């Protein structure tokens, strides 16, 4: 009798563990960190693009996976550290992340949770991966802008404002990838007859101060890389550029959709859709360090209506 009671008790104790393991296999947890507010229309579009890509591999949200979505807007590094720590503590199966600062902080806090990045300009020089072909470590993903491409920004800005001879490159403070872009622009500026200055900004007050300073110079313009805090302060930048009549170039089309002058860069939503393939492969057992970093395949020109008829770089 006691033997039967023991076996019955063992079965009752083991069942919840087995059920939990089965549920874990069926519903995988994908952490998502993005350098925008969660309510931002661009953030929602990117999450939808990732979900669309996952559906192509048989993943259905709520059935065999769920998102742990956290937007990071404002607050600087303290906010990034807190958001990363909270997500890492929840032990996701894989983290999908955007922005160099976010991915670097993820790697400081974990070397075991797999990371797929979808928007980094220079993953090698910023130390995120060992090489594009063989990333090593716990991160791989999709590069967005190659720093060597930054000469196009000057070219396009000069096409819109031929008299331009001064450019402020406003970078996100602490973002190593932005510095790579800045160095290329500085090296190529003499070719275009342009003097380049830069400002590393952390908040709205520093953004406003930097733009007001360059606006006091004649024939000036702006080049604005993406990132924290620029992404979530973009409408402030549009308003200041309009007030001071400064031609401004942005790296991604979503800036133009929200009111910016012009952009030329990779299709970010396409990158998010494509990155789902790496999330799928990692969830099925492959290691991120074995998956080569990929580059954009689709680029798009964004322009406000007044300059939409301008020739594209390919013409």
- At residue 96, does pLDDT exceed 60? yes
- The neighbouring-strand residues paired with 120 are 143
Confidence of residue 116 (pLDDT cuts 50, 70, 90): very high
Q: Is 69 exposed, middle or buried (0-12, 13-18, 19+ CB in 10 A)?
A: middle
Q: Backbone dihedral region of 147: left (phi > 0), alpha (psi from -120 to 50 degrees) or beta?
A: alpha
Name the least confident of 25-29, 127-131, 241-245. 25-29
Residues 113-141 have a mean pLDDT of: 94
Domains defined for the chain, CATH in brackets? 25-145+267-297 (3.40.50.2300), 147-266+300-307 (3.40.50.2300)
Instruction: Lay out the sheet containing 94-97: strands in order across.
Output: 65-71, 28-34, 94-97, 115-120, 139-143
Please say if the pLDDT value at position 1 is more than 90: no
Average pLDDT over residues 49-54: 98
pLDDT band at residue 121 using 50, 70 and 90 as cut-offs: confident
pLDDT of 309 > 70? The answer is no
Q: In the predicted model, what is the mean pLDDT of the chain?
A: 87
- Give the pLDDT confidence score for residue 75 in this predicted structure: 67
Q: Which two tokens stand for residue 192?
A: 């275009």
Highest mean pLDDT: which of 8-12, 99-103, 269-273?
269-273
Element (H, E) at 155: helix 151-160
Q: What is the pLDDT of residue 303?
A: 85
Contact by Cβ (8 Å): 176, 200: no
Residue whose token pair is 């990779």: 266
Q: What is the band of 144 on the pLDDT scale with cuts at 50, 70, 90?
A: confident
pLDDT over threshold 60, residue 311: no
96: DSSP letter: E
Q: Is 144 left (phi over 0), alpha (psi -120 to 50) or beta?
A: alpha
Q: What is the model's pTM?
A: 0.84
């Amino acid at each position: 009798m006691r033997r039967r009671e023991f076996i019955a008790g063992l079965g009752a104790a083991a069942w919840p563990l087995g059920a939990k393991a089965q549920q874990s296999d069926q519903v995988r947890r994908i952490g998502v960190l993005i350098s925008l507010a969660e309510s931002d229309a661009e953030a929602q579009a990117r999450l939808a693009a990732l979900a669309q890509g996952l559906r192509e591999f048989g993943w259905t949200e709520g059935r065999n996976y769920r998102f742990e979505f956290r937007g990071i807007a404002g607050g600087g590094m303290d906010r990034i550290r807190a958001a990363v720590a909270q997500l890492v503590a929840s032990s996701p199966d894989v983290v999908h992340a955007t922005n160099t600062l976010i991915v670097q902080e993820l790697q400081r806090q974990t070397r075991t949770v797999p990371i797929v990045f979808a928007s980094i300009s220079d993953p090698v020089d910023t130390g995120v991966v060992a090489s594009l072909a063989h990333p090593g470590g716990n991160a791989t993903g999709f590069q967005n802008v190659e720093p060597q491409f930054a000469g196009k920004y000057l070219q396009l800005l000069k096409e819109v404002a031929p008299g331009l001879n001064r450019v402020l490159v406003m970078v996100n403070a602490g973002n190593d990838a932005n510095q790579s872009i800045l160095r290329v622009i500085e090296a190529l500026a003499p070719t275009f007859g342009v003097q380049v200055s830069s400002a590393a900004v952390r908040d709205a007050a520093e953004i406003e101060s930097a733009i007001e300073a360059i606006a006091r110079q004649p024939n000036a313009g702006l080049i604005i890389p993406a990132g924290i805090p620029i992404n979530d302060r973009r409408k402030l930048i549009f308003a200041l550029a309009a007030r001071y009549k400064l031609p401004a170039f942005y790296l991604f089309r979503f800036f133009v959709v929200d009111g910016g002058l012009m952009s030329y860069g990779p299709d970010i939503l396409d990158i998010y859709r494509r990155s789902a393939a790496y999330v799928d492969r990692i969830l099925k057992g492959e290691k991120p360090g074995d998956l080569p970093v990929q580059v954009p395949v689709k680029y798009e020109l964004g322009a406000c209506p007044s300059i939409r008829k301008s020739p594209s770089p390919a013409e």
